[in-house]
Amino acid sequence: MSRLPFEFLLALRYLRPKRTFVSVITLISVVGVTLGVAVLIIVISVMSGFDRQLREKILGFNTHLKVLKPNRTMPDYREVMSEVATQSLVKAVAPFVIGRVLLETAPQNGQSQVDAPYVRGIDASLETNISILPQSIVSGVFDVSNRGLLVGTELAYQLRLEVGDLVTIYSPEELRKMRASQGRTNAQAILPDEYEVRGIFDVGYYEYNVSVVMTSLEDAQELYVLGNDVHGLLVMLEDPYAAPAVAQALSRRLGPEYRVTTWMQENASLLNALIVEKNVMFYLLFFIMIVAALCILSALITFVVQKTREIGMLKALGATDLQVSLLFLSQGALVGALGDLAGYGLGMLALAYRNEFLHFMNRMTGFELFPASIYGFTELPALIEPRDILLICGSAWVVCTLGGVIPAWRAGRLKPVEALRYE
């Protein structure tokens, strides 16, 4: 004898595949739940992967905090560096200069190329503790001394630059002087600075690889006519998510003339957009499960009508209203459980081979379905979070179970005499 409740055993028996209309609808319901769970797992995991990888790329190239003087340069940056370094959780501090420049290539043959990237002046001796740049050189060496330049892979590709090539850089000050000297009889020629490409880097994020070049702190100070001043300080922390607390402590310690910004504030629009997109995708795709629940509702209503005689006999033999209702609720729960298991397996399989499928579709269609120029990544990221899986599978099972509430309530209210009257 089985120890399972009889209503659960009957639910299992009624769900056995048969060549009936009810079985077809039940199969469609299971497939609907499977697809809904699988698609939700895939989309939410990919969105979570985007969020994690984007944070890693941002934190790999950018620092956790920036210390600035609003609308002014920082002449006493060494004293401020010493003050910041004494703060708890601070791992490293380095000065920086950053701004737009006009860069022009000087090819031996052909027409020169022009772009306007950001130039970032760095202290090479401190950069190892500040970013992943020293470990991201894919060609050449990490050398910015004596007007050496580091260029991102995408910018080097667009401008057809290689290690050893020379480029000229026009600073904003030089451009202002050239504009001011136009039309003068005694105008002097303004010669731009010439730099040598010493290395090409790939930090794994398209936006940085295409829009930033690196040079030494001294050369950047010369470009922007800063003397010994810098634009600010870069601060690395032991824990990047402690940035808001450390920023508040530094703001109180340094005083109102300094402004401390966090990596979360600088990238707030992008990070918040990902969170909003993830939530919206969850709600939109969850309607697939609601459609499956409606299929379950339709199937169970049809089933109650077809099994009216059996329901009457069960009640005549002593089955309570609750037991009859649980029979149909169990069917909805079983369909939800089967759909959850199948959807979880399908979702995990799709995530495991997501990049292989992406490359296959690229070869078959000839289109880049996941362009790095738009998304910033060369591979499709994914992060499987147990909390998201439990939320998706749990909510799908609850919705499917609720799909059987109305048929169960209707079956529980049937009277034995009315059910058997026309039999």
Chain segment 144-189, per-residue pLDDT in tens: 988 999 999 999 999 999 998 999 988 877 777 766 666 666 656 6
**pLDDT tens for residues 338-392?**
888 999 999 999 998 888 887 787 778 777 666 666 665 667 888 888 998 998 8
- Mean pLDDT, rounded, of the chain: 81
Q: Model's pTM, two decimal places?
A: 0.67
- pLDDT over 90 at 280, yes or no: no
Name the nearest CA neighbour of 289 among 29, 99, 4: 29
Same domain, 222 and 316: no
- pLDDT over 60 at 6, yes or no: no
- Domain presence at residue 20: yes
pLDDT confidence of residue 149: 93
- Domain presence at residue 43: yes
pLDDT confidence of residue 18: 54
Same domain, 296 and 415: yes
pLDDT confidence of residue 396: 86
pLDDT confidence of residue 401: 83
Choose from 182-191, 215-224, 259-268 the range with maximum mean pLDDT.
215-224
Same domain, 119 and 191: yes
pLDDT confidence of residue 404: 77
pLDDT confidence of residue 1: 44
- Domain presence at residue 262: no
- Domain presence at residue 61: no
- Domain presence at residue 184: yes
Same domain, 223 and 86: yes
7-16, 248-257, 261-270, 359-368: least confident range: 7-16
Same domain, 281 and 242: no
Element (H, E) at 234: strand 232-237
In angstroms, the CA 325 to CA 337 distance is 18
In angstroms, the CA 27 to CA 339 distance is 10
Output the six-digit token pair for 253. Answer: 């310690």
pLDDT more than 90, % of the chain:
15
Output the six-digit token pair for 236. Answer: 């690395």
Q: Which of 202, 227, 257 is the last residue before a domain boundary?
A: 257
- Domain presence at residue 299: yes
Output the six-digit token pair for 134. Answer: 């020293």
Q: Which of 257, 285, 303 is the last residue before a domain boundary?
A: 257
**pLDDT tens for residues 83-121?**
888 888 888 999 999 999 889 888 877 788 888 899 999
Contact predicate 188/181, CB 8 Å:
yes
Pairing mode, if any, of strands 65-68 and 137-140? unpaired
Name the DSSP letter for residue 69: B
Number of domains making up the chain? 2
Same domain, 252 and 372: no
- Within 59-217, strands assigned E span 65-68, 90-100, 102-105, 114-115, 118-122, 137-140, 148-152, 166-170, 193-201, 212-216
- pLDDT over 60 at 419, yes or no: no
**Sign of the dihedral defined by the CA atoms of residues 7, 8, 13, 17, in that order:** positive
What interhelical angle do 405-412 and 268-306 show, nearest 10? 30
In angstroms, the CA 189 to CA 379 distance is 48
For residue 367, give the 3-state DSSP assignment. coil
Same domain, 106 and 237: yes
- Domain presence at residue 263: no
Same domain, 164 and 223: yes
Domain span at residue 161 reads 70-257
Output the six-digit token pair for 69. Answer: 């003087």
Same domain, 98 and 228: yes
In angstroms, the CA 221 to CA 236 distance is 22
In angstroms, the CA 274 to CA 224 distance is 36
Residues ≥6 apart with Cβ < 8 Å to 10: 327
pLDDT more than 70, % of the chain:
82
Same domain, 362 and 386: yes
Calculate the alpha carbon distances from 281 to 268, 285, 304 in Å.
20, 6, 35
**What phi and psi, each to the nearest 5 degrees, are found at residue 68?**
-135, 160
Burial of 68 (0-12, 13-18, 19+ CB in 10 A): middle
**What phi and psi, each to the nearest 5 degrees, are found at residue 75?**
-75, -30
Please report, as a single letter, which amino acid is at residue 203.
V
pLDDT confidence of residue 142: 92
Q: Which of 236, 257, 278 is the last residue before a domain boundary?
A: 257
- Domain presence at residue 379: yes
Same domain, 122 and 247: yes
Output the six-digit token pair for 365. Answer: 């269609």
Same domain, 97 and 201: yes
Name the nearest CA neighbour of 220 among 293, 124, 309: 124
What interhelical angle do 321-352 and 308-316 show, nearest 10? 130
**What phi and psi, each to the nearest 5 degrees, are found at residue 98?**
-145, 140
